[in-house]
Structure 1
Amino acid sequence: MVAGLVLALCAAVCMGMATVWQAVGARRAAADGEGSRGRIVAKALRGWPFLAGTGLDTLGFVAQVVALQLVALFLVEAFVAASLAVTAVVGTAVLGLRLRRVEWGAVIVVCLGLATLSVSAGRDGPGDGDPPMRAAMLVASVLVVAVGWVLGGLLRRGRPVVLGATAGLSFGLTAIAVRLLPDATVPTVFANPAAYVVVVSGVGGYLLLVQALQSGSVTAATAAMVICETVWPGVFGVVWLGDTTRHGYGGLALAGFVCCVAGAVALGRFGEAEGAPTAEGAPTAEGAPTADEATKGHGVSDR
């Protein structure tokens, strides 16, 4: 239990730090790139800020995978959502953003939610799904990525929300698929559809996230991603995989989960890093604008 909590915390820290650099890389590619969406996405993936963020995200994902085998799915996903609190705090130091009182309050709410969940969460359930469930997850992973990509090309209004939501659904499918891998040994893993869900949803979710960060309001995209990535996988773990809380702590665990998600959504705007770099590409330090101020004059609009 303790090892799982430590790993979930490590995942939150790595992913929270990664978000800032991913947003910087995605917006630089959108500002400088021309051509198709695919070329702009490819340019973002080659840039060093996004690569640095991806490296941190990879470390966080490995910690998340191991944690998912040790503690309840809703607990791990709450920690992942809380990574935005890490993003907010790191953003003040690295990007020169200023947290207002309400944002500091959201950080505190997230921390209290995590503490509450850590005390009240039980063990992960014994369920690992059956072949039909795993096959259905694979079909769902392909459909979510395909629908998100198509809608991302068709929509003009609400595009960041749709892309963020589909990215979150993909990441949620990835987390569930990890739990549906009771035996990860070779060659057994290659016969398990859940292994392909991890690949399809993981890669597809990243591509959708890159587009979401380029599409307008990173606040809207991040909030939609957090909700879709966190809530339904947690419910899935409780209902279908048998995850539990400690006896008599169900209400406390629910309150902690809600605090984590609500605080993370409130902090969603700190995925928006485009206003932070200076003309030379270096982060601003003293006298830097707030995140709200930084978005003005940079073509950012809520759609």
Structure 2
Amino acid sequence: MVAALVAAVCFGVASVLQAKGARAAEPGSGSGVDTRLLARALAQRVYIAGLGLDAVGFAMELVALRALPIYAVGAALAASLAVTAVAASRLLHVTLQRVEWGAVGTVCGGLALLGLASGGEGHGHGTSALRWATLLAAGGVLLVGLAAGRLPGRARAAVLGLGAGLGFGVVEVSVRIIDSVTSPALYALLLGGGSAFLLLTSALSKGSVTTATAGMVIGETIGPALVGVLALDDRTRPGWAPVAVVGFVLAVVGALVLARFGEGGADGPPGPDGPDGATAGSPVTSGR
């Protein structure tokens, strides 16, 4: 659980650094799957710093996935949204409201309950059909990106974030079921992770960091948790299932509440008073 929380901190700060790098790069085509935008963002040092944190976070996530059920790791990673909100308030100069601090506490409380209730990882290794399904799901992430690129404003950021979360969710499941170098799950991991980065970079380049991260949290939490319980025998400690459910729900609800948090550069080009005419340094909450 400590490894999972370290991963959440790394991912949360990385999202803000990558948003700064993507916005500093020359604008891309606007597509949800924009390889040129990613290439330009990679020329920004702050974006590279974010990728470095992602690498550390991914290593910690692997440690956690080898010892905990997927649902526990996924809910712990939901804390990355709380970290993103706090980091955005420092790096993008926005003030957190009382409700956002309450949401941060809710996420942390849910994670504490999950930590108490979670058992060891399940001993299921998945079927051949599940391995092929992860590869199909990884390909579907690109389709989500192509469709989401046509959406306006916050809807675009949220759906691209959701698609990125689905890609990272494929990675979580694939790590558990890879059984050889020719396994479809290995290719699913590579395709899902690469596609997720493409979508997330596009989401962060124009949309709200927290809106995109909230979509990502939902995508990488719920689906993989269900796969872990239904197909990989993930379980709680005996008699602690209700506590685990409450903890999981609290973590996800806290993450969703934080999705209302808005930061500078949320949507559209900055004006004299910030994006969408909002005063610089204040939350952008309209339409949330």
> Which TM class, normalised by the smaller chain length?
0.7 to 0.9
Give me the TM-score of the superposition, normalised by structure 1. Answer: 0.82
Residue number among 65, 68, 74 corresponding to 2:62 in the alignment? 65
| 1:104 matched to 2:98 | no
- The counterpart of 2:45, out of the listed 33, 48, 51, is 48
CA-CA distance at 1:62 after TM superposition? 1.0
Task: State the secondary structure of the residue aligned to 1:190.
Answer: coil
Partner of 2:137: 140
Q: Could you tell me which residue of structure 1 aligns to residue 238 of structure 2?
A: 247
Q: Structure 1 vs Structure 2: percent identity of aligned residues?
A: 45
The answer to whether the Cα contact below 8 Å between 2:208 and 2:265 also exists between their aligned partners in 1 is no
The number of residue pairs the alignment matches comes to: 274
Deviation at 1:203, TM superposition (A): 0.7
Aligned to 1:230: 221
Determine the structure 2 residue equivalent to 1:163.
160
Change (3 A) 1:269 1:84: same
**Structure 1 range deviating more: 235-244 or 86-95:** 86-95
CA distance in 2, matches of 1:245, 1:81: 19
Distance in 1, Cα, partners of 2:172 & 2:219: 12
Contact 1:33 1:40 in 2 (8 A): yes
* Unmatched tracts of structure 1, length 5 or more: 184-188, 279-286, 294-300
**Alignment-mate amino acid for residue 53 of structure 1:** G
The answer to whether the Cα contact below 8 Å between 1:217 and 1:302 also exists between their aligned partners in 2 is no
Where does residue 121 of structure 1 map in the other structure? 118
CA distance in 1, matches of 2:80, 2:185: 25
> For residues 225 and 15 of structure 1, do their structure 2 counterparts lie closer, same or farther at Cα, with a shift above 3 Å needed?
same
CA distance in 2, matches of 1:291, 1:156: 20
Give the structure 2 partner of residue 257 of structure 1. Answer: 248
Q: TM-score, normalised by structure 2?
A: 0.86
Shift of 1:107: 0.8
SS in 2 for 1:143: helix
**How far does residue 174 in structure 1 lie from its aligned partner after superposition?**
0.9
**1:97 CA displacement:** 2.5
Q: Is the counterpart of residue 201 in structure 1 residue 198 in structure 2?
A: no
Closer, same or farther: CA 63–208 of 1 in aligned 2, 3 Å: same
How well do the aligned residues superpose, as a CA RMSD in angstroms?
A: 2.6
Code of the aligned partner of 1:14: C
Shift of 1:238: 0.8
Q: Does 1:6 align with 2:22?
A: no
